[in-house]
Structure 1
Amino acid sequence: MTTTLIEPLAARRCANVLNSLHATSYFAPELGEQLAGIGITHPRAANFAVRAAAMGAVGAGTVTAAFYNYKHALVARFVPAVWETASPEAVLAARVRGVDAALRRLLGAPTLTSPEMAEAAELALRAAEACSRGARPLYAAHADLPVPEKPHLAYFHAATLLREHRGDGHLAALTAAELDGLEAMVTHTATGRGMTPKWVLATRGWSQEEWDSAAGRLRDRGLLDASGELTERGVALRAEIEDMTDRLDRAPYEHLGAEGVARLTELGAGFARTALAAGAYPADLIGKR
């Protein structure tokens, strides 16, 4: 394997673009319909099942550890019971069908069979060749799945690999910063780039009281001010977390090289803009309020 040093922010931009395509699946009604077809109807059960299925019929503890920012009591309501409704293999097959349908709606059929999609899939898969399994459970589980033949599904698969690889490393950075799952969400929301408290409380199982308690702990550490904004120390800590995440995730992008990263970012950004314009995400998903 050959590597070429590239600008960390260029790699981060590429990772963010790839993640934006992967994340469309969590809001796609097509995926919900496919999961409902195999008996999984509750949104939280669907979320846990579709992301954890690559790891097999795991228990609640494994999902809580790998997902990090969900309250364990919420996870335990649905896992491992969800595997009695549908096997991990059935969930993975449903995800492929749902993603296929969602991408056809969001991007349009001509884009899925375009030379640009095939090129993006090839570049993303090449980057993923340099990912490592060690201490990365979600990436490692997805890396054991076969690569789909259709370019748009291969691109989604590669985007998922790169997303989970970076995500697993990000959890190591959060742990090193001594932020628990909820504290991580509170500080990320405070940057203005994370999910709003409304979405965190609706999807992660935490109460308003628990959110307020986490904010209090962060104020005690000097990371948040009285208005809930990041202090100078808080801004610095979030920057350190992202820098560490970049370091732990540099291998795939160095393997791809600066030219490949730039081209993959360009292609992926085009797909992401099209998906966004087609209503891929809820309008109130990101922000501080």
Structure 2
Amino acid sequence: MTTAAIDPHAGRRCHNALNSLHATYYFSPDLGREMGAVGITHPRAVNFATRAAALGPVGAGMVAATFYNYKYELVARFVPAVWETATPGQILDARARAIDATLRRLLGEEAVASEEMAEAARLALRAAEACGRSARPLYSAYADLPVPEEPHLAYFHAATLLREHRGDGHLAVLMSAELDGLEAMVSHTATGKGMAPKWVFGSRGWSQEEWDAAAGRLRERGLLDAAGELTERGVALRAEIEAETDRLDRAPYEHLGAEGVARLTELGAGFARAAAVAGAFPDGLIGKG
């Protein structure tokens, strides 16, 4: 364990590796099956319920606030009604079963039971020891949950903690940059690394007209050009957002130390590549198209 400063890009790379595997369960047929078994079948209801269940039976306002880039009216179609179908505890149990099935299917039994998985779990949990609760509601809610005993589930739990810790901080940075949820998505997509618009419309509840209006607001601020590409000012703002997010998220990786971060990144990237090769993500998810 160490508290020495490390390259902030190393922390970001580590987060990205862990988050890539974490994201697989959102697209997993195992999640749909397990949630269907408790009576929740609509994809949006599944998404809201599984991610928000750690918060307890909250209302649409809390979900919209903590998720940030979803349209409130879409959230309100399913929350809080979803808690009448299944309790947060039942949903968390279904989520855990889905994660277990997803990792076994994508990575294989040998990887799930490997020493590398156990090592990754130890390293990720050690990093998460330095996460802070203040003004981080989603992280803090997940931090109240027990750490699973099985290494692959413990690894996923730690990846969730690190993901939501960074995510909560990122939202504070977006607010400071005066980007609302949709403007944040439009500008991120313009980098070529964000979610393609068709996925935004389907999963976040926004329309093409609302997307175009957000793009117009960004053009008025000099952040997008007429073709929808980031201007020099827009590129600089996105870089500042990531740098400030790194700063707010530095504690876990400084706690783990440079050697530990490098090893966790190596392990996490390997698991994420294996999952991607196994078809974890739908085609056309990322990009401007």
Q: TM-score range by the shorter chain?
A: over 0.9
Provide Cα deviations, 1:8-41, integer angstroms capped at 9, x if missing partner.
1011000000110110010000011000000000
Distance 1:98 1:162 in 2: 20
Residue aligning to 1:192 = 192
Q: Which amino acid in structure 1 is aligned with residue 27 of structure 2?
A: F
Residue aligning to 2:11 = 11
- Normalised TM-score (structure 2): 0.99
Distance 1:284 1:207 in 2: 18
Distance 1:78 1:128 in 2: 31
Distance 2:253 2:282 in 1: 30
Distance 1:56 1:146 in 2: 15
Q: What is the aligned residue count?
A: 289
> Does structure 1 residue 48 correspond to structure 2 residue 48?
yes
Q: By how many angstroms is 1:272 displaced?
A: 0.4
Residue aligning to 1:100 = 100
> Does structure 1 residue 173 correspond to structure 2 residue 173?
yes
Q: Which amino acid in structure 1 is aligned with residue 187 of structure 2?
A: T
> Does structure 1 residue 159 correspond to structure 2 residue 159?
yes
Question: Secondary structure of the equivalent of 2:148?
Answer: coil
Residue aligning to 2:212 = 212
Distance 1:78 1:58 in 2: 11
Q: By how many angstroms is 1:4 displaced?
A: 1.6
Residue aligning to 1:88 = 88
Residue aligning to 1:223 = 223
Provide Cα deviations, 1:174-223, integer angstroms capped at 9, x if missing partner.
00000000000000000000000010011100011000000000000000
Distance 1:154 1:89 in 2: 18
Q: Which amino acid in structure 2 is aligned with residue 85 of structure 1?
A: T
Q: Provide the identity percentage.
A: 77
Question: Secondary structure of the equivalent of 1:178?
Answer: coil
The runs of 5 or more residues in structure 1 that have no matched partner are none
Q: Which amino acid in structure 2 is aligned with residue 283 of structure 1?
A: D
Distance 1:283 1:277 in 2: 12
- Normalised TM-score (structure 1): 0.99
Q: By how many angstroms is 1:142 displaced?
A: 0.1
Distance 2:22 2:112 in 1: 15
When the two chains are superposed, the root-mean-square deviation of aligned CA atoms in Å is: 0.6
Question: Secondary structure of the equivalent of 2:254?
Answer: helix
Residue aligning to 2:133 = 133
Q: By how many angstroms is 1:50 displaced?
A: 0.2
> Does structure 1 residue 29 correspond to structure 2 residue 37?
no
Residue aligning to 2:118 = 118
Provide Cα deviations, 1:241-283, integer angstroms capped at 9, x if missing partner.
0001000000000000000000000000000000000000011
Residue aligning to 2:244 = 244
Residue aligning to 2:286 = 286
Question: Secondary structure of the equivalent of 2:41?
Answer: coil
Question: Secondary structure of the equivalent of 1:223?
Answer: coil
Distance 2:208 2:194 in 1: 17
Residue aligning to 1:109 = 109
Q: By how many angstroms is 1:51 displaced?
A: 0.2
Residue aligning to 2:232 = 232
Residue aligning to 2:256 = 256
Distance 2:99 2:134 in 1: 28
Question: Secondary structure of the equivalent of 1:101?
Answer: helix
Distance 1:252 1:286 in 2: 27
Distance 2:32 2:54 in 1: 18
Q: By how many angstroms is 1:2 displaced?
A: 4.0
The runs of 5 or more residues in structure 2 that have no matched partner are none
Distance 2:97 2:2 in 1: 36
Q: By how many angstroms is 1:74 displaced?
A: 0.3
Question: Secondary structure of the equivalent of 1:3?
Answer: coil
Runs of 4+ aligned structure 1 residues displaced above 2 Å come to none
Distance 2:232 2:33 in 1: 45
Distance 2:208 2:123 in 1: 43
Distance 1:275 1:152 in 2: 13
